[in-house]
């Protein structure tokens, strides 16, 4: 009895967590480090309808304009959305994806989330400069008493002075933009936490190179450890070959069956329909129908792929468990069909 309690404890405390972790890693392995998968996710321009946030505007204001040129954040956010088009934001998101994978694959030693603003600068000093200036001027506050519309040493209108129309302010901003942007950088770093730096090749003697090898080795170690824990549990739980095989089979059936169940739920039409019909009230801000459809088209393939991976992994594990169970039946049958023979000599009559 004590042996069986120890076996159950090993399977519950050690084996099952490791088995679930291994099956999860195996399920996400095909796509979690797939560059193309993430490029497809960020490829829909409708996702960038409201991506340009006030935080990005603040970064732009602080790192592109000098202190005397910095503009009211609310007005700048409105104006920048006129030039930061969905196509531009999609291009930048794709660039970040590629930068991340170049870093984790060992092609680059440093990683920073950087925004290439050279296209924005070209637009601001070009044809879209007037559009930006008009939106900015319309959103600028009125100057306070004694406040100058242009800061000392600056070039850009930062507030609307008495007697100055919005059109006049827009014309002034349009004319001043080329000089205001002349010395500005072409890229800005998002965030203030520095950058990540490593060199995967430093660990080539152990893992080759790249995070893919780290993930594969981790999966292998977890599988071996889980299999060892299941083996020990089956040895302690079973009294003979038949019993040990059934213990091992049961240990595999539990995570395998749960993985199959999770996969069926995730790929079921009900889940897909519920994701596709997310009500607009779930969003903090009212977005267009096209934006909500893009979010659904982003989430649904991910859920389906995760569900399909869980389903396949669970089927494979359950099939192995079934094979072990059939083996236990064969072992039981052999023991019944081959009983020990005891010969008793009979006296001659």
pLDDT digits (tens, 9 = 90+) for 21-57: 998 888 888 778 888 888 887 877 667 766 677 777 8
Question: Would you say residue 210 has pLDDT above 70?
Answer: no
Which tokens go with 315? 């089927």
- Of residues 306 and 278, more confidence is placed in 306
Give 274's contacts (C-beta < 8 A, 6+ positions apart).
Answer: none
Give 36's contacts (C-beta < 8 A, 6+ positions apart).
Answer: none
Per residue in 110-134, pLDDT (tens digit) is: 777 888 889 989 989 888 899 999 9
Residue 114 three-state SS: strand
Model pTM?
A: 0.65
What is the C-alpha to C-alpha distance for residues 303 and 206, in angstroms, rounded to an integer? 34
- Of residues 267 and 338, more confidence is placed in 267
pLDDT at 341: 55
58 confidence band (pLDDT: 50, 70, 90): confident
- Phi, psi (degrees; rounded to nearest 5) at 346: -100, 140
Per residue in 223-239, pLDDT (tens digit) is: 999 999 999 999 998 88
Give 1's contacts (C-beta < 8 A, 6+ positions apart).
Answer: none
Range 285-312 average pLDDT: 73
Q: What percent of the chain has pLDDT over 90?
A: 31
Average pLDDT of every residue of the chain: 81
Q: Is 331 left (phi over 0), alpha (psi -120 to 50) or beta?
A: alpha
Per residue in 124-182, pLDDT (tens digit) is: 988 889 999 999 999 999 999 888 999 988 899 999 999 999 999 999 999 999 998 88
Contact 245, 332 (CB under 8 A): no
Which tokens go with 149? 């519309």
Cβ of 181: how many Cβ atoms within 10 Å? 20
CA diameter of the chain = 140
Cβ of 104: how many Cβ atoms within 10 Å? 19
Q: What single string gives the DSSP state of each residue in 36-95?
A: HHHHHHTT-GGGGTT---HHHHHHHHHHHS-GGG---HHHHHHHHTTTS-HHHHHHHHHH
């Amino acid at each position: 009895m004590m042996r069986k309690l120890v076996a159950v404890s090993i399977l519950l405390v050690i084996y099952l967590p490791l088995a679930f972790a291994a099956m999860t890693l195996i399920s996400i392995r095909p796509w979690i480090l797939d560059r193309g998968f993430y490029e497809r996710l960020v490829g829909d321009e409708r996702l960038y309808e409201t991506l340009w946030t006030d935080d990005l505007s603040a970064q732009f204001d602080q790192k592109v304009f000098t202190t005397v040129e910095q503009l009211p954040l609310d007005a700048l956010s409105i104006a920048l959305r006129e030039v930061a088009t969905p196509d531009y934001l999609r291009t930048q998101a794709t660039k970040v994806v590629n930068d991340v994978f170049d870093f984790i694959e060992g092609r680059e030693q440093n990683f920073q989330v950087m925004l290439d603003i050279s296209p924005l600068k070209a637009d601001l000093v070009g044809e879209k400069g007037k559009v930006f200036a008009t939106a900015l001027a319309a959103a600028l506050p009125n100057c306070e008493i004694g406040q100058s519309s242009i800061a000392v040493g600056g070039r850009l209108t930062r507030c609307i002075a008495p007697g100055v129309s919005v059109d006049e302010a827009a014309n002034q901003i349009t004319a001043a933009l080329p000089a205001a942007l002349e010395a500005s950088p072409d890229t800005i770093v998002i965030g203030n936490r520095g950058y990540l730096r490593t060199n995967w090749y430093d660990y080539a003697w152990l893992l080759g190179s790249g995070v893919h090898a780290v993930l594969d080795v981790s999966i292998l170690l977890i599988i071996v450890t889980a299999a060892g824990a299941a083996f020990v549990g089956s040895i302690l739980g079973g009294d003979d070959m038949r019993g040990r095989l059934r213990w091992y089979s049961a240990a595999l059936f539990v995570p395998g069956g749960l993985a199959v169940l999770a996969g069926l739920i995730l790929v079921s039409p009900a889940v897909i329909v519920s994701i596709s019909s997310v009500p607009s009230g779930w969003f903090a801000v009212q977005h267009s129908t096209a934006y909500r459809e893009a979010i659904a088209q982003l989430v649904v393939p991910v859920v389906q792929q995760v569900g399909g991976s869980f389903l396949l992994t669970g089927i494979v594990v359950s099939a192995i468990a079934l094979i072990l169970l059939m083996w236990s039946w064969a072992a039981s049958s052999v023991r019944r069909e081959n009983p020990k023979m005891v010969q008793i000599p009979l006296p001659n009559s």
